[in-house]
Each structure stands twice: as structure tokens, then as C-alpha cells.
């Protein structure tokens, strides 16, 4: 085996309930195998790499690396930096005019003596890692890049389960368990639970499923108005499903008339196309990030759904609540920690083999846990709306399913 001399770790993109656990797991595994291997952690993702700003993993850090499993977020910091977006990197002062950010990053790794770089992030982070790995290889830098797949959306081709997604669904369900009690704060209450998920409805569907599991464990008192019907999920709207607003409004109006409230779960990416068209028709600028994605906070899909349904349901009050920041900043649950540790262990093995790729269960190779080749990594994997558990959820709440044409990879 070709022992690494110095390893670097960075986290990037949005938060997910796996980042600290992934950092901790990598530090723990390297320390178990050979504590003489140096480890540094770049601050704030690719920003820190470009600026040569990092933490040193000291013996005291190694000894207490297990503490990271207890905390959400990323203690070493995140940022959204795209190394191939030269203009944005110059604008942010990360490189000088005329510099290639990829070369700056590669040269910084060499300067810092790094031979293995672990990136922990979603499709954007791993796309950036893939670009950097290709640049390193084509320019003979002799460095290896190994990614770990983080995203609450669970939408990375061809990875079966992204790190942190299970926890995000569980935490989103916990969040709504409190919010739903607002259903009796006003007659004819419409509550919109906006869940993260730009182009994939997995997290919304999984959060609804986890929330309904919580309802299964509750004892009710309908004689005093404490009924499951008023706490139930009455509608689930995700990007992969065609939404007939009029038909759904008619169905939900009947629920409102009977229960005096309606609770719907909405993916933040559902309806975005319609919202963007409306904004452009009004001459409004559609804000986008460095990767060209529509800034979902600015277009506010939950508010849009609330406005679409409120009048048709005869709602007296509409409450829109977003669980995203609550869910994504949670510490990993037991299931995710188990997945994270297995991925981190393999990532360290791959480091000794100098094998680049993104660690995950490869859906195109029999769901085997392996280092998936960077060129095969792609975001935007749609949720399978024919999954039996999701069909059961829709059947239980009386909602019919209309499918959009899914895009392949």
C-alpha cells in the first residue's frame, strides 16, 4: 500500500446532517490506521483551499474526534465556490485577475504537501472535485481526490443513499410535529410545510413518511377535538409529479370543510418553473447562485403554493413554515452514522490505493459500496414516485398521482 503522507479534508455547499460526522469518521479512521499521517482541514471549503487557510488536526483533535458525531453543521466551515467560475472567484477576491482557480488550488495543495484531498459535499461539490481531479491528472500533479456524497435531497446519480438524507427526513418530521399544532390557532387554517429539495422530491416524501410514523405512535382524544385527521398530511407536492391545482383544491376543500384545517408538504423545487415564468413576465430578475441555480429562498415556493390554494380552499389563515435549516443542521442519526462510517472507512482504503472517486453504493453496479468514477457523478436524480412506500402514503391520504416525464442521466 502507498501510505499517504498528508491528507486534507474540506466540506462545501449547503449543510447536511453528516458533515461533522464525516470529518470525525475520516480523522478517526486515519488515526486508527496510522496516526503519523498528517491531516489538515481547509476552512470554508474551496475558499480555504484557494487561500491556503486551514486547521491542523492535532493529537488533541484526534483524541476527541468522536465529539463531532454529536454536532450538526460543519465545524470547519462551508462555502459555495465553483473553481471553474473564474469571474466569480475573482469577484470574491479568492484569486487574482488572470489566474486559473483550478491551478491556484492545485498549487496550494502542492505547497501544503497534500497528496490526498477528501471533499465532502453534494453534486456541485463533487462536480468541482471532478474538475479538479481531472486538472490534477492532466497536469501530472500526482494528487488523489476522494469525495463523500452529502445532500439532503438524496439526488446524486448513481448513488443509492446520500449521507445525511435520512437524518434530514427524521428532523423535518420532528419540526412539523410542533408546527402542526397551529392548526387549531385559527379556523380554516392552511399550513404549508416547505421541505428542501431543488429538483428531487425524495426528502419531502421521506419527511411525510417519517412524520406519519410519529402520528402512528400518538394516542388521540377525538372527543375533545384531538384527532389524527387534523394532524394528518393532506397533500404531498414534489417536482416529479404533475400538479392539477384545480383538482387538488377541490379534494382539499372537502378536507377543510370536514376537519377545519389542511396540512400540505411541498418540495421547495415544486412549482419553481411556474414561479420563474411569472417573475419574468413581470420583468423581475430571477436571482441565481454561482452555479446558476435559482435561489429558492428568493422565489419562495411555499408562499406561492399557499397563495394558489388559500382562496380555493376558503382558508381564513395561511401559515408557511420551512423545516430546511432546522433539518439540515442536525447531528447525524444512528442510521446515517453507520452509513458515514462505512463510507469513510472505504475512503481511507482508497486513499492508500490512490483510487479517486466518490464513495457510495453504486446503483448501476448492484448497489456495491465503491469509489464511483467522478465523470459518472451527476446531480438532479429524480425521486422514483413509483416506490411502494410512497404509493402507500398517497393512498393513505387519498391523493392521486400525476407523473411528469422524468429526465435520465
The set of catalytic residues is 153
Alpha-carbon Rg for the chain, nearest whole angstrom, is 23
Taking the C-alpha atoms of residue 394 and residue 391, their distance in angstroms, rounded to an integer, is: 5
Contacts of 226 (CB under 8 A, 6+ apart): 220
C-alpha cell at 131: 474538475
Taking the C-alpha atoms of residue 108 and residue 100, their distance in angstroms, rounded to an integer, is: 12
On whether the CB atoms of residues 30 and 61 are closer than 8 A, the answer is no
Neighbours of 126 (CB within 10 A): 31
Contacts of 371 (CB under 8 A, 6+ apart): 146, 346, 347, 350, 355, 356, 357, 358, 359
On whether the CB atoms of residues 305 and 264 are closer than 8 A, the answer is yes
At which residue does the C-alpha cell 447562485 appear?
A: 289
Taking the C-alpha atoms of residue 72 and residue 19, their distance in angstroms, rounded to an integer, is: 7
C-alpha cell at 261: 384545517
Query: Buried (b) or exposed (e) across 348-369, using 16+ Cβ within 10 A?
Result: bbbbbeebbbbbbbbeeeeeeb
On whether the CB atoms of residues 291 and 121 are closer than 8 A, the answer is no
Query: Buried (b) or exposed (e) across 192-206, using 16+ Cβ within 10 A?
Result: bbbbbbbbbbbbbbb
**What pairing do the DSSP bridges indicate for beta strands 38-42 and 6-11?**
parallel
C-alpha cell at 130: 471532478
106 closest CA partner among 134, 141, 144, 78: 141
55 closest CA partner among 11, 21, 15: 11
On whether the CB atoms of residues 81 and 105 are closer than 8 A, the answer is no
Amino acid at each position: 500500500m502507498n501510505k499517504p503522507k498528508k491528507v486534507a479534508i474540506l466540506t462545501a455547499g449547503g449543510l447536511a446532517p453528516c458533515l461533522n460526522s464525516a470529518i470525525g469518521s475520516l480523522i478517526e479512521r486515519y488515526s486508527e490506521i496510522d496516526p503519523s499521517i498528517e491531516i489538515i482541514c481547509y476552512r470554508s471549503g474551496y475558499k480555504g483551499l484557494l487561500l491556503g487557510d486551514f486547521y491542523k488536526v492535532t493529537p488533541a483533535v484526534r483524541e476527541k474526534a468522536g465529539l463531532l458525531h454529536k454536532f450538526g453543521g460543519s465545524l470547519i466551515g462551508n462555502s459555495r465556490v465553483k473553481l471553474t467560475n473564474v469571474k466569480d472567484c475573482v469577484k470574491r477576491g479568492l484569486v487574482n485577475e488572470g489566474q486559473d482557480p483550478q491551478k491556484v488550488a492545485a498549487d496550494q495543495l502542492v505547497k501544503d504537501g497534500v497528496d490526498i484531498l477528501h471533499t465532502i459535499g453534494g453534486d456541485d461539490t463533487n462536480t468541482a472535485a471532478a474538475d479538479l481531479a481531472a486538472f490534477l491528472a492532466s497536469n501530472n500533479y500526482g494528487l488523489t481526490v476522494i469525495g463523500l456524497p452529502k445532500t439532503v435531497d438524496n439526488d446524486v446519480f448513481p448513488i443509492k443513499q446520500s449521507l445525511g438524507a435520512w437524518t434530514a427526513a427524521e428532523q423535518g418530521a420532528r419540526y412539523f410535529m410542533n408546527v402542526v399544532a397551529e392548526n387549531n390557532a385559527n379556523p380554516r387554517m392552511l399550513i404549508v410545510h416547505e421541505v428542501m429539495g431543488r429538483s428531487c422530491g425524495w426528502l419531502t416524501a421521506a419527511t411525510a413518511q417519517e412524520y406519519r410514523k410519529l402520528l402512528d405512535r400518538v394516542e388521540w382524544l377525538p372527543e375533545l377535538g384531538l384527532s389524527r385527521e387534523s394532524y394528518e398530511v393532506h397533500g404531498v407536492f414534489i417536482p416529479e409529479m404533475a400538479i392539477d391545482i384545480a383538482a387538488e383544491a377541490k379534494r382539499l376543500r372537502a378536507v377543510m370543510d370536514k376537519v377545519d384545517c389542511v396540512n400540505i408538504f411541498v418540495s421547495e423545487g415544486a412549482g419553481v418553473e411556474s414561479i420563474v415564468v411569472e417573475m419574468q413576465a413581470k420583468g423581475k430578475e430571477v436571482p441565481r447562485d454561482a452555479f446558476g441555480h435559482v435561489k429558492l429562498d428568493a422565489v419562495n415556493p411555499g408562499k406561492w403554493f399557499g397563495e394558489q390554494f388559500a382562496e380555493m380552499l376558503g382558508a381564513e389563515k395561511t401559515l408557511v413554515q420551512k423545516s430546511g435549516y432546522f433539518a439540515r443542521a442536525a447531528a447525524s442519526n444512528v442510521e446515517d452514522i453507520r452509513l458515514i462510517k462505512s463510507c469513510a472507512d472505504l475512503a481511507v482504503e482508497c486513499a492508500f490505493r490512490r483510487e479517486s472517486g466518490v464513495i457510495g453504493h453504486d446503483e448501476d453496479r448492484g448497489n456495491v459500496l465503491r469509489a464511483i468514477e467522478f465523470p459518472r457523478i451527476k446531480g438532479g436524480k429524480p425521486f422514483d414516485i413509483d416506490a411502494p412506500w410512497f404509493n402507500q402514503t398517497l393512498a393513505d391520504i387519498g391523493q392521486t398521482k400525476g407523473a411528469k416525464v422524468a429526465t435520465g442521466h
